[in-house]
Amino acid sequence: MTTRTKIKDVLKGNLIDQTVNVKGWVRTFRNNSFIAINDGSSINNIQAVVNFENTNPDTLKRITPGACVGVTGKLVASQGKGQTVEIIVSDIEIYGDAESDVTKPNSYPLQPKAHSLEFLREIAHLRFRTNTFGAIFRVRHTLAYAIHKFFNEKGFVYMHTPIITSSDAEGAGEMFRVSTLDPKNPPLTETGEIDYKQDFFGKSTNLTVSGQLEGELAAMAFSDVYTFGPTFRAENSNTARHLAEFWMIEPEMAFYDLKDNMALAEEMLKYVITYALDKNKEDIEFLSQRLLDEEKNKPQTERSELNLLEKLNFCLGNEFAKITYTEAIDILRESNHNKKKKFQYIIEGWGADLQSEHERYLVEKHFKKPVILTDYPKDIKSFYMRMNDDGKTVAAMDILFPGIGEIIGGSQREERLEKLESRMKDMHIPTEEMSWYLDTRRFGACPHAGFGLGFERLVLFVTGMTNIRDVIAFPRTPNNCEF
Binding stretches for Mg ion (CB under 5 A): 409
DSSP letter for 322, please: E
Q: Which position among 195, 260, 330, 406 is part of the footprint of ligand 4AD (CB under 6 A)?
A: 406
Q: Does 454 bind ligand 4AD (CB under 6 A)?
A: yes
For residues 187 to 216, the per-residue mask of contacts with ligand 4AD, x marking binding by CB under 6 A and - elsewhere, is -----------------------x-x----
CA atoms of 363 and 78, how far apart (whole Å): 47
Nearest approach, Cβ of residue 291 and ligand 4AD (Å): 21
Would you count residue 151 as binding ligand 4AD (CB under 6 A)?
A: no
Residue among 218, 219, 209 at smallest CA distance from 163: 209
Cα distance between residue 111 and residue 120, in whole Å: 12
Among 229, 402, 410, 464, the residue binding ligand 4AD under the rule CB under 6 A is 410
429 lies in the site for ligand 4AD, by CB under 6 A: no
3-state secondary structure of 464: coil
Q: What's phi and psi for 283, nearest 5 deg?
A: -65, -45
- Closer CB to Mg ion, 251 or 409, in the complex: 409
Q: Which is nearer to ligand 4AD, 233 or 270 (CB)?
A: 233
Asked if 409 interacts with ligand 4AD (CB under 6 A), we say: yes
Note whether 371 and 362 are within 8 A (CB): yes
Q: Does residue 376 interact with ligand 4AD by CB under 6 A?
A: no
CB nearer ligand 4AD, residue 271 or residue 376: 376
242 binds, among ligand 4AD, Mg ion, none (CB under 5 to 8 A by kind): ligand 4AD
Pick the closer one to ligand 4AD by CB: 35 or 460: 460
408 binds ligand 4AD (CB under 6 A): yes
Which of the residues 154 through 193 are near ligand 4AD (CB under 6 A)? Answer: 169-170
CA of 183: how far to CAs of 164, 366, 430, 441, in Å?
A: 19, 52, 26, 39
- Least Cα distance to 216 among 148, 147, 161 occurs for 161
Interface map 213-252 toward ligand 4AD (x if CB under 6 A): --------------------x-x------xx--x-x-x--
Stretch of 27-35, 82-90, 104-112, 404-412 contacting ligand 4AD, by CB under 6 A: 404-412
Strands (E), 105-244: 157-158, 164-165, 177-178, 205-207, 224-232
Given the complex with ligand 4AD, which of 243 and 363 has the nearer CB atom? 243
The closest of 219, 212, 214 to 250, measured between CA atoms, is 212
In three-state secondary structure terms, 228 is strand
Q: Is 268 exposed, middle or buried (0-12, 13-18, 19+ CB in 10 A)?
A: buried
The DSSP symbol for 156 reads P
Select the binding partner of residue 408 from Mg ion, ligand 4AD, none (C-beta < 5 to 8 A, by kind).
Answer: ligand 4AD
Among Mg ion, ligand 4AD, none, partner that 459 touches (CB below 5 to 8 angstroms by kind):
none
Length of the chain: 483
Neighbours of 248 (CB within 10 A): 24
Distance (Å, whole) CA 337 – CA 310: 26
Q: Which is nearer to ligand 4AD, 181 or 446 (CB)?
A: 446
Determine the interface stretch with ligand 4AD among 286-294, 352-360, 403-411, 432-440 (rule: CB under 6 A): 403-411
Question: Which residue, 46 or 248, is less far from Mg ion as judged by CB?
Answer: 248
Of Mg ion, ligand 4AD, none, which one sits near residue 276, judging by CB under 5 to 8 A according to partner kind?
none
Q: What is the DSSP string of 3-54?
A: PB--HHHHTTSTTTTSEEEEEEEEEEEETTTEEEEE-SSSSSPEEEE--TTT
Could you give the angle at which helices 131-153 and 455-463 cross, rounded to 10 degrees?
120
Tell me which residue of 153, 133, 230, 9 sits closest to 145, measured CA to CA: 153
Q: Residue 137 CB, nearest distance to ligand 4AD (Å)?
A: 17
Choose from Mg ion, ligand 4AD, none: what does 243 bind? Cβ within 5-8 Å by kind. Answer: ligand 4AD
Using CB under 6 A as the binding criterion, the count of chain residues that bind ligand 4AD stands at 23
**Closest to ligand 4AD by CB, 86 or 456:** 456
Tell me how far, at minimum, the Cβ of 250 lies from ligand 4AD, in Å: 4
- For ligand 4AD, the binding residues (CB under 6 A) are 169-170, 210, 212, 233, 235, 242-243, 246, 248, 250, 406-411, 450-452, 454, 456-457
